[in-house]
Homo-oligomer: A and B are copies of this chain.
Amino acid sequence: MNDQELLKPLIEPNTTKLVLVVLDGVGGLPVNGASELEKADAPNLSLLANGSACGLQVPVAYGITPGSGPGHLGIFGYNPLQYEIGRGVLEALGLGIHLTDNDIAIRCNYATAVHEGAKTVIKDRRAGRIPTDHSKKITQMLQEHIKQIDDAQIILLPGMEHRFALVLRFNHPLEQGADKIEDTDPQKEGLEPIVPKPEGRQAQHVAEVALQFVAQAAALLNQEEKANYVLLRGFSAVPRIPKFSDVYGVRALAIATYPMYLGVAKLLGMDTIKPEGGIAQEIETLKNNYNNYDFFYLHVKKTDSNGEDGNFDGKCKVIEEFDANLPGILSLNPDVLVVTGDHSTPALIKGHSWHPVPVLLKSKYVFGRTSASFTERECLKGELGICHSTDILPLMLANGMRLKKFGA
């Protein structure tokens, strides 16, 4: 049975406060014998871990490296194998747009195409990674000329280098399956772009609109030296996913500085705030809104960014910055405080990885004294053992006395 189906009838109201801190990609790997968490000087986290239930959580399954979507779904208690946030949707959310049931979101690349006889062939799938400035300029140009195709409003969102996002906003909610369209990217240079192919009847009209968009954009771009074509990938609609408040009976606030995480939280129906600044300002925001919600998701981005860059010391510094600000959270004395990550991003790997993520849970109802610090190897000794990411949310609710007994 799905965990959420098990939980829903057990939810009972309470006034307890639950705080979930996600240090993005916090899990690491040893370099010269110590991981980022082991190297960082984090006395507040160590003290907290020693008084908490500790463990490691597996985001999806052993050996599976999660993207940010599945990583977050898991710690929010949604089975990441059951629910999927499409790539187009994630990209569009990351560019700051709010999506509705009327939308199809698509990741796009500018590309270089050449004409070989009657054939159009892709010569460079990334248009030589054109500078972001230029990409932004031509995206604005396209937007000025293409505002509507048939019954779909066209929304273009500039991205980095050759990337942008396209949202087809129809004037009606879409059927399930409307986003089942194959990528137009042929994946290899020297091949023709693929015509948007709908999997079923539900996606046919969307595919037609997408095809028209490609044709109109190519016509408008034909003077461009490099970016004279567009490739569409990751067609996706907003996932049909239960609302966080409906499943767990909490009023939830998401605090993050990057649009994508706020976007994911919005998909689940959370309220969102984007503070200006860093960790200190995020915690200030938590304090200022502490009375108005009972569940708080606070996202720290830079652990992941430094991991992605292979910047071991930079990642340690972000952990230390969080540690220095941790007393601000502790001063609120939440009934349940969890610190974890959505996945590991070891600087050694310069990317997301499959490694289980350290997790600590502080409440009145834990043992503690199993783990001397918040590190991978110390958390392994903890009372949560190696659990699944989807176990975290039920544990938070239980420790917040928000779950009734199962069965008589």
Interface residues of A, Cβ cutoff 8 Å to B = 1, 3, 6, 10, 29-30, 33, 35, 56, 60-70, 80-81, 84-87, 90-91, 234, 346, 348-349, 351-356, 364-370, 376-377, 380-381, 383-388, 391, 393-399, 403-408
Contacts and interface: CB of A to CB of B under 8 A. Distances in A.
A377 B387 contact: no
Give the interface SS of chain A, mostly helix, strand, loop or mixed. loop
B64 A398 contact: yes
Given A346-B365, A349-B365, A365-B353, A408 B62 contact: no
A395 B69 contact: no
A66 B10 CA distance: 11
Given A6-B61, A61-B391, A85-B408, A354 B69 contact: no
A406 B65 contact: yes
Given A6-B81, A380-B370, A63 B398 contact: yes
13 contacts: A30-B367, A63-B393, A66-B406, A68-B408, A70-B407, A80-B406, A80-B407, A84-B407, A85-B408, A87-B408, A234-B408, A369-B377, A370-B377
A63 B407 contact: no
B377 A65 contact: no
A253 B199 CA distance: 39
Nearest to A353: B365
A339 B193 CA distance: 47
Contacts of A85: 407-408
A175 B349 CA distance: 48
